Structure 1
Amino acid sequence: MDDGRVWSFEESLWTGDAEHYRELVDEECLMVLPQPPFVLSGEQAVAAVSDTPRWTKVAISERQVSRPQEGLIVVAYKVNAEREGTTPYEAHCTSTYRRLEHEVWRVVQHQQTPPLTVTP
């Protein structure tokens, strides 16, 4: 998967509906998100997305792509996401994809770290 497709794939995970998410997230996926229950399996992540409005505007910056071995892609980036009626969201993220067959990829890991809030 070339870099352009990698970033289209990643952005679609933020904006796509639950069915799209279900197609791209592996059942064995593990996710760490900044809200309880914090650690989710693939099925739990799909269920959470089903109950959450999708982001309508997503900006991905600080993009890095690594291909540590054949059939494995790791991305790291900063995201700024918005949807109507909510506060904009910012986080640094990683995702790992594994290739199942030619041009068929699934997310096997995703993590989001929002900025730390420093209190005086």
Structure 2
Amino acid sequence: MATKESLLELERQLWNADEEVYEDILSKDAVMVFPPPTGILDRSAVLDSLGSADRWRRLKFDEARLIDVGEDVVQLIYRAVAERSGDGSEYTALVTTTYVEANGSWQLLTHQQTPVDE
């Protein structure tokens, strides 16, 4: 079974990962939901977007919770504070990621970010 700490570490990697890492982690039905203008992205759109994505130089996660949704399904919920490497802008969001266990590894099924104005 996944632990909160192991999935938080995976999330940290994904915030700056390249297409190769995402190809391994995303389930075939993966969907990610971001604030406008990005919106809803399916697996192929996520992979296509990675080459042009501005990376993060600082990440902080807190208020993390791991919820056992059912057999082989968990949700990781946390607050993220991140700083863009390009312009130094700060971004705070409430995040929910759903993982499913398949073939002995955890795959990302859904990921949703709700921005927080601070």
* TM-score in terms of structure 2 length: 0.88
Kindly report the root-mean-square deviation, in angstroms, between the aligned alpha carbons of the 2 structures: 1.6
Distance 1:20 1:36, change over 3 A: same
Specify the code of the residue in structure 2 equivalent to 1:58.
L
Residue 26 of structure 1 aligns to a residue in which SS?
Answer: strand
- Unmatched 5+ residue regions in structure 1? none
How has the CA–CA distance of structure 1 residues 36 and 83 changed in structure 2, closer, same or farther, with 3 Å as cutoff? closer
| 1:34-69 Cα deviation digits (max 9, x unpaired) | 122401101111211221132122111110110121
Aligned length: 116
Q: Does the 8 Å CA contact 1:93/1:112 hold for their aligned counterparts?
A: yes
SS at match of 2:14: helix
Alignment of 1:33-112 (within 5 A): 33-86=34-87, 87-102=89-104, 104-112=105-113
For the Cα contact (< 8 Å) 2:54–2:85, is it kept in 1? no
- What CA distance in whole angstroms lies between the structure 1 residues aligned with 2:51 and 2:65? 28
* Contact 1:64-1:75 within 8 A present in 2 as well: yes
8 Å CA contact retained: 2:72, 2:101: yes
Aligned 8 A contact 1:31 1:45 in 2: yes
Task: Find the aligned partners of 1:38 and 1:45 in 2 and give their Cα distance.
Answer: 11
- 1:30 & 1:84 partners in 2: Cα distance? 25
Residues in 1 aligned to 2:41 and 2:15: alpha-carbon distance in whole angstroms: 16
Q: Aligned partners of 2:115, 2:95: CA distance in 1, in Å?
A: 9
4+ runs of 1 displaced by more than 6 Å? none
Higher strand share: 2
8 Å CA contact 1:33, 1:111 repeated in 2: yes
Give ranges in structure 2 of 5+ residues lacking alignment: none
**Cα distance in 2 between the residues matched to 1:55 and 1:11:** 10
- Cα deviation per residue 1:72-118 (whole Å; 9 max; x = unaligned)? 1101111011132321111111000001122x11111010110258x
Q: Distance between the aligned counterparts of 1:66 and 1:26, measured in 2? A: 19
How far apart are residue 19 of structure 1 and its match?
Answer: 1.5
